[in-house]
Amino acid sequence: MAAPLPLIFRNPPLRLCTHHLLYPPLSIARTSTKPFSLISYSPTNTRSFPIINSTQMEGDEITEEITETTQTNVVGKKKFFVAGATGNTGKRIVEQLLAKGFAVKAGVRNVEKAKASLPQDNPALQIVKADVTEGSAKLAEAISDDSEAVICATGFSYGWDLFAPWKVDNFGTVNLVEACRKLGVNRFILVSSILVNGAAMGQILNPAYIFLNVFGLTLIAKLQAEQYIRKSGINYTIIRPGGLKNDPPTGNLVMEPEDTLSDGSISRDLVAEVAIEALVNPEASYKVVEIVSRPDAPKRSYEDLFGSIKQR
């Protein structure tokens, strides 16, 4: 009788940290003096900035039609930049940030797609074009000095390009970190994946580890990006979720230190919640956490969960 598959493969819809459902994925910063207290909302000022209305492909070149659009500048709200804001996890992060009263700058590759999928007519939401593969200078322009922190929820789209994981999950993340360094943004949240360090965990023969590295060594690309963040000097929290589900959360959150979990699943809604809690909880600073949800897990506060993880 064949051995049963690991938990993560018993339910095909699960994806290990894929930010696209169709497929599985993969300097010293200046200290910011920006306050981390939530101030009252007073949308009194406005400013103009370019918004990309359409993108056309002409041969090998991409041309963009840009118009000047006036939008409300939400004064007094803490503004967070979300990279990969139209992804399955990134979109939930944007929605939850807005629901909690924060201002959001949504960094996306396709502005029209973002307009269709992100909340409409919300003065606290600003959509900007931001492709993490285009380098740190352009990303710094998109993030700008009004963002207090960056959440990276990007994920590459599968295709014939085997270098895509490195372009997005490695170089793209590094570009975001360098953009933060240029701007003096000193808070960075990365949504990564469990098993990124599977070889060191003795999981090299784990089917999940093998499967997720088939296309372009996805997990290795993510791991190297994590290592870059940890050496950058930026105040980081790296979140490694288990198999991602689109269903509402069930059970309670389990949070473990890095290189601990090798199976398990979690709702994307709960991953988004953890990312936002990491922004506002001092206990989350300079830590790598692995998360899944389990029905038999005890209910714990985020302060307790993050506080239980030691810095390395």
Distances (CA, A) of 36 to 79, 86, 92, 126, 235: 10, 26, 22, 20, 14
Distance, in Å, from the CA atom of 46 to the CA atom of 238, rounded to the nearest integer, reads: 35
Name the strand (E) or helix (H) holding 27.
none
Concerning whether 193 is annotated as a catalytic residue, the answer is yes
Whole-number Å distance between alpha carbons of 193 and 17: 5
Rounded Cα distance between 90 and 94, Å, is 6
Cα separation, 29 vs 289, whole angstroms? 22
Task: Give the DSSP H/E element, type plus range, for residue 111.
Answer: helix 111-117
Nearest 5°: phi and psi at 10?
A: -80, -15
* Choice among 136, 147, 192, 193 that is catalytic: 193
Residue 266 pairs with which residues in a beta bridge? 244
∠ CA 69-72-74, nearest 5°, is: 145
For 251-283, the DSSP string reads SEEEEEETT---S-EEEHHHHHHHHHHHHH-GG
Buried b (16+ CB within 10 A) or exposed e, 141-180: ebbbebbbbbbbbbbbebeeeeebbbbbbbbbbbbbbbbb
How many whole angstroms separate alpha carbon 122 and alpha carbon 148? 19
Known catalytic residues?
193
